[in-house]
Amino acid sequence: MSGPASLRSDVPVRILFITSTRLGDAVISTGLLRHLLATYPSARFTVACGPVAAGVFERMPRLERVIVMEKQRFDLHWLALWRRCVTSVWDLVVDLRGSGVSWCLLASRRMIVRGGRRPGLRLAHLGAAFGLTPPPLPQIWTAPEDQAVADAVTGQPEAEDMLIGLGPTANWSGKIWPAERFISLWHGLREARPGARLAVFYGPGRTERKLAAPLLALPEAIDAGGRFSLAETAAMLSRCAFFVGNDSGLMHLSAAAGTPTLGLFGPSRVSEYAPSGPHAFSISAPGPEGEAPIAGLAADEVLEKALDVIGGRACG
């Protein structure tokens, strides 16, 4: 499927961009938005996504509105989206959900990406839909007020300090590396980098807070989770010299923020959802992909890889 080459870049363009309900997939899709922003400098964007992902687009340039799609029985959320979009004439509709709604709207061009899982990196699938090789990397947008929050929470480090972020949570227990391994990893990192400071990242809600609690109990831990917007979280992640976390939306957010990021994988597929960014890396538990228990990932293995990333020696 080729890109929307017939649209002129020098006239006003209205683009509807339908993306994921999940945070990680929404972050991955920002690479296409990055491409569209550069290709059509006069374009105005409407983004439709799930409530968890909405904050990803809050600071996006030339954003007209975000339409939050709350899941409803019998797929009625698609009808609700159609009602909110049918009165507009769109120059381009980009539908990353492969829905039928896109065909029921007035649009000059449509780019519809087939939904569902299939082999290969999700980022590459999206790039291929536009004929983009390599695919554009994800990007996170922040504002000065988000940077001010990051300054207030993480502080102003001395020159020799290194802020290290840890993300011990995920949306599925099978993805979660044991908290005691994260603590062991932190002690190893601090021994190797005595000036290092710790920031603990996690999402909103009691469950996420409970998963992060063992790390938050460390006396030196900075609480960087739970109560912040995604843009504020991205600003804090961009302050980190390094981030290591489970396969999660936060992992993708960190990589998109440009932070050197190490993603931990067990039963989730690194071949599909490895972090994508200018300094993104991953490590997988031993065993068949998609079946390996994440507890099989030893703390000393992760520490060795982490130190390679920090020292600029890591690849892949």
Where is the domain boundary, 129, 152, 183? 129
Res. 157: pLDDT tops 70:
no
Q: What's the chain's length in residues?
A: 316
* Encoded tokens for 287: 């065993």
Confidence of residue 91 (pLDDT cuts 50, 70, 90): very high
The answer as to whether 58 is a domain residue is yes
- φ/ψ of 180, rounded to 5, equals -65, -25
Mind listing the pLDDT tens digit for each residue in 16-74? 999 999 999 999 999 999 999 999 999 999 999 999 999 999 999 999 999 999 999 98
The answer as to whether 137 is a domain residue is no
The answer as to whether 219 is a domain residue is yes
Q: Which domain holds residue 168?
A: 144-310
* Closest to 305 measured CA to CA, from 273, 280, 268, 271: 280
Q: Are residues 292 and 213 in the same domain?
A: yes
Q: For the chain, what is the domain count?
A: 2
Mind listing the pLDDT tens digit for each residue in 260-310? 999 999 999 999 999 999 999 999 999 999 899 999 999 999 999 999 999
pLDDT of residue 161: 75
Q: Are residues 158 and 291 in the same domain?
A: yes
The answer as to whether 6 is a domain residue is no
Res. 140: pLDDT tops 90:
yes
pLDDT of residue 316: 63
Round to whole Å and give the CA distance between 24 and 142: 17
Higher pLDDT, 9 or 149: 149
Residue 146 to residues 28, 231, 236: CA-CA distances in angstroms?
21, 6, 8
Q: Are residues 151 and 298 in the same domain?
A: yes
Mind listing the pLDDT tens digit for each residue in 100-135? 999 999 999 999 997 667 788 999 999 998 899 999
Res. 253: pLDDT tops 80:
yes
Q: Are residues 116 and 211 in the same domain?
A: no
264 residue type, one letter: L
Q: Are residues 222 and 296 in the same domain?
A: yes
Mind listing the pLDDT tens digit for each residue in 189-245? 999 999 899 999 999 999 999 999 999 999 999 999 999 999 999 999 999 999 999
User: Are the C-beta atoms of residues 259 and 242 closer than 8 Å to each other?
Assistant: yes
pLDDT of residue 160: 56
pLDDT of residue 11: 64
* Closest to 113 measured CA to CA, from 133, 102, 129: 129
The per-residue pLDDT of the chain, averaged, comes to 93
pLDDT of residue 102: 93
Round to whole Å and give the CA distance between 117 and 136: 20
pLDDT of residue 10: 61
User: Are the C-beta atoms of residues 249 and 22 closer than 8 Å to each other?
Assistant: yes
Confidence of residue 176 (pLDDT cuts 50, 70, 90): very high
Round to whole Å and give the CA distance between 77 and 81: 6
151-170 average pLDDT score: 85
pLDDT of residue 315: 67
